[in-house]
Amino acid sequence: MEDLSLHILDVVENSTKAGANLVEINIKEDTDKDLLQIIIQDNGRGMDPKMVKRVTDPFITTRTTRRVGLGLSMLEQAAQEAEGYLTVTSEKGIGTEIRATFQASHIDRKPFGDMGSSMISLILGNPGVDFIYKSDFDGEKTTIDTRAIKAELDGTTTISDPAVLKLLRGVFEESLRN
C-alpha cells in the first residue's frame, strides 16, 4: 500500500465484510506529542480472543477465496516502520476496534494520500453502511456523518449521486493537513 488512505480503505472494507452497518474512522494528529493515530471502530460481528491474537498473522483469514490475509498485517507493518504499533480489540457480537499509532514525523511514516477517494469508494461500495469520519489535527476538527447527509438529502437524491460525492470529496480532502 502506497499511503495511509489505502490502508484505511482496506481495513474498513474488513468492517463492512464483518456485517457492520456503522463504521467510525478517527484520525488524530498531535504535533507536540509527535503522534498520529488512526482508529477504526465498527459494529460488525466481532472476533473471539483467539482470533484477535492471530489476526495480524498473514496466514490467517476468514475468507475462502484465498488462504492469506494481508490487510491488517500490512497496516501493522506500516505502523511499526514509523516507530508505532497496532492494537486490535474486539468482542463477539459487539464489534471491533483497530488502532494504528505512528510517530507522526517519522521519515518512514506513509503520507495520507487521497483520503477523499478512499471515503468515496467506501460510501459507493457499501450503500447499506453508514460512516462517521472524524479528523483532528492539533485541534482542527472535521466531522462527517453519512447519516446526517442522507437525512439532509431527504430522498431527493441518494448519497451515491455523483454531485453529492463530488462535494464530499472536497470536504474529505480539505480535512487533511498534508
Partner 1 sequence: MAKLRIEDLKKIKESMAGTVNLRAGDQRVKITVHMGTCGIAAGARKIMNALLQKLEKSGASDIILTSSGCAGLCNHEPMITVEVRESAPVKYVKLDPEKTEKIFDEHIMKGNPVSEYALSMGSETTY
Of 125-164, binders to partner 1 (CB under 8 A) are: 125-127, 140-142, 144, 149, 152-158, 160-164
- Cell matching residue 46: 466481532
- Is residue 178 a contact point for partner 1 (CB under 8 A)? no
Cα–Cα distance, 82 to 104 (Å, whole number)? 8
> Considering only residues 66, 80, 83, 95, which one is a binding residue for partner 1 as defined by CB under 8 A?
66
Q: Looking at the chain, how many residues does it have?
A: 178
Number of amino acids touching partner 1 (CB under 8 A): 47
* Burial class (CB within 10 angstroms; exposed 0-12, middle 13-18, buried 19+) of 177: exposed
**x/- track of binding to partner 1 for residues 81-120 (CB under 8 A):** ---------------------------------x--xx-x
Distance CA 114, CA 125 (A): 17
Are 33 and 139 a contacting pair, CB within 8 Å? no
Residue 27 as a binder of partner 1 (CB under 8 A): the answer is no
Question: C-alpha 104: how far from its chain's center?
Answer: 17
Smallest CA-to-CA distance from 4 within 102, 132, 130 is with 102
* Residue 10 vs 83, nearer CB to partner 1: 10
Answer for which of 13, 34, 81, 83 binds partner 1 (CB under 8 A) is: 13
Residues at the contact surface with partner 1, assessed by CB under 8 A: 1, 6, 9-10, 13, 17, 63, 65-66, 69-71, 74, 114, 117-118, 120-121, 124-127, 140-142, 144, 149, 152-158, 160-168, 171-172, 174-175
